[in-house]
Amino acid sequence: MIIVWDNGRLVGMARCMTDFVYVTYLADIAVDDCYQRQGIGKQLIREIQKNSDFNAKIILTAVPQAVDYYGHIGFAAHPSVWILNRPL
């Protein structure tokens, strides 16, 4: 987990799970509305990259409001994601 503070105020965070070699799953990333468009989200992703293997891919599931953001900063959409919305 990576957390960003501004004078005691929580303004951003990223929560990941990784094997440190092949993949890092970015479970959550959030930046306070008042602090968006300042590069905090990109810096959080850079910090994730620094703490993963060079070859590890970062994967995430975007909330609808953020779908356009990730493509804009260099993420590629991937067609082979599967979601189970009900019990087996």
| Token representation of residue 29 | 């990333």
| 30 neighbors 44 (Cβ within 8 angstroms) | no
Question: pTM of the entire structure?
Answer: 0.83
Tens digit of each residue's pLDDT (9 = 90 or more) over 10-32: 999 999 999 988 899 999 999 99
Q: Which fold has domain 2-72?
A: Aminopeptidase (3.40.630)
Tell me how far apart the alpha carbons of residues 64 and 1 are, in angstroms, rounded to a whole number.
23
Tens digit of each residue's pLDDT (9 = 90 or more) over 28-81: 999 999 999 999 999 999 999 998 888 889 999 888 888 888 888 899 988 888
Tell me how far apart the alpha carbons of residues 60 and 75 are, in angstroms, rounded to a whole number.
10
**In the chain, domain spans:** 2-72
| 62 neighbors 26 (Cβ within 8 angstroms) | no
Q: Which residues pair with 21 in a beta bridge?
A: none
Tell me how far apart the alpha carbons of residues 49 and 72 are, in angstroms, rounded to a whole number.
17
